Amino acid sequence: MFSFSDPFLKNVIENKVINQERLSFDDGVSLFNSHDLLGLGYLANIVRERKNGQLTYFINNRHINHTNICKNLCRFCAFSKSKGEENAYAMSIEEILQAAESYNDGRVSEFHIVGGLHPDFPFSYYLGMLGELKGKFPKVHIQAFTAVEIAHLADIAGLTVRQALIELREAGLDSLPGGGAEIINPDVREKICPEKISGKKWLEIMKTAHGLGIKSNATMLYGHVESTEDRVNHLIQLRDLQDNTGGFLAFIPLAFHPKNTGLDNVDFTTGQLDLKVLAVSRLMLDNFPHIKAFWIMIGPKIAQLSLSFGVDDIDGTVVEEKITHAAGANTEEYIEKNRLISLIQEAGREPVERDTLYNAVS
């Protein structure tokens, strides 16, 4: 029998988890306030194994950050630059194709494309990027553009979000990454990303995408100025939308990296917090099939440990990543597939190479 050090986990949460009862807002706050990390991991692991058994997913993917020029200039972002600023860059479609080609070992199954809100790129640039990539790599799933980028693209195209998504899908878009959610509470957004679309709009765009059959991920940027209540509120809003649409594939907590940002007075997150956020997310998001640890942000060592704290997905090969590395990440940008497999096996789990939609890739 597991020995909890926090009686609340033993007396209240364990029963709810065993009986598959939904956890409340207050439960979520208590979970975040608990210091019984092993107890949280034990409970999150029950949910993880119920949903995914021993299976642990990874993907052979290639991230592409096509431009760092962005008109939003979020305070937590070290990646974005203004046009003309030193180190600002914008890739042509030809350069994007070359980047994609540079990691085309015949087995890559996903391009993951996220960038800034470039003030001058026309809608045709994005359609062209998708069309050319799809033409050259017809079997590769394109997961591109956060809801924040989708709002911007609809804006520059003079289209509704729905129309823009339809055109992007026709050009080759397959699914949306989960970025841009940050923390949904408007008071927090006002402090960390006042120019960004609201959390409400982010949720609406996801709802529209899901309604069109376009799946997406969801994220939460944690470890900056947000409160425990902000985190729990964020998770519950995601859970409510998932009840409605069922369109979220995975939830990925993103550990805030402060270096070179407007919030550089904040410390890097700790291993304790990273594991706690993953475990609490697994417990609160009872309707999300997958919880993913993004090893780029928390490092392969914590990502491996997280497999006992509710996580069933360790992301992928990545190859190149600029957003977190601009903000002080000291991880590699590429990890070999065999290394992911041995990290998973060493944790006593069963590795499964997946495609974006969680089908096993042989």
Rounded to a whole number of angstroms, the minimum distance from the CB of residue 341 to ligand SF4 is 32
Asked if residue 38 binds ligand SF4 (CB under 6 A), the reply is no
Count the residues of the shown chain that bind ligand V47, applying the rule CB under 6 A: 22
Please count the CA atoms within 13 angstroms of the CA of 54 that sit on its side-chain side: 8
Which residues touch 228 (CB under 8 Å, ≥6 apart)?
29, 32, 33
Nearer to ligand V47, 10 or 227 (CB): 227
Interface residues for ligand SF4 in 282-321 (CB under 6 A)? Answer: none
Contact 97, 132 (CB under 8 A): yes
Q: Among residues 32, 57, 58, 79, which is the contact residue for ligand SF4, using CB under 6 A? A: 79
- Shortest CA distance to 239 belongs to which of 315, 173, 184? 184
Contact 286, 34 (CB under 8 A): no
Q: Among residues 45, 208, 219, 281, which is the contact residue for ligand V47, using CB under 6 A? A: 219
> For residues 224 and 226, what is the distance between their CA atoms, to the nearest angstrom?
6
Asked if residue 254 binds ligand V47 (CB under 6 A), the reply is yes
Q: Among residues 13, 43, 59, 70, which is the contact residue for ligand SF4, using CB under 6 A? A: 70
Q: Looking at 12-20, 70-78, 90-98, 283-291, which segment touches ligand V47 (CB under 6 A)?
A: 70-78
Phi-psi region of 242 (alpha: psi -120 to 50; beta: other; left: phi over 0): alpha
Interface residues for ligand V47 in 304-333 (CB under 6 A)? Answer: 323-324, 327
Helix residue ranges, H only, the chain: 7-8, 14-18, 25-33, 37-52, 93-102, 123-136, 147-157, 161-171, 186-192, 199-211, 228-245, 271-284, 295-305, 323-326, 337-346
Asked if residue 80 binds ligand SF4 (CB under 6 A), the reply is yes
> For residues 78 and 264, what is the distance between their CA atoms, to the nearest angstrom?
10
- Shortest CA distance to 312 belongs to which of 28, 51, 37? 51
H-helix or E-strand containing 62? strand 61-64
> For residues 324 and 61, what is the distance between their CA atoms, to the nearest angstrom?
17
Nearer to ligand SF4, 41 or 179 (CB): 179
Asked if residue 196 binds ligand V47 (CB under 6 A), the reply is no
Rounded to a whole number of angstroms, the minimum distance from the CB of residue 88 to ligand SF4 is 12
Asked if residue 148 binds ligand SF4 (CB under 6 A), the reply is yes
Task: State the binding partner of 202 from ligand V47, ligand SF4, none, CB within 5 to 8 A by kind.
Answer: none
Asked if residue 147 binds ligand V47 (CB under 6 A), the reply is no
The residues of the shown chain that bind ligand SF4, judged by CB under 6 A, are 70, 72-74, 77, 79-80, 116-117, 148, 193, 196
The residues of the shown chain that bind ligand V47, judged by CB under 6 A, are 76-78, 114, 146, 177-180, 182, 217, 219, 221, 252, 254, 256-257, 261, 294, 323-324, 327
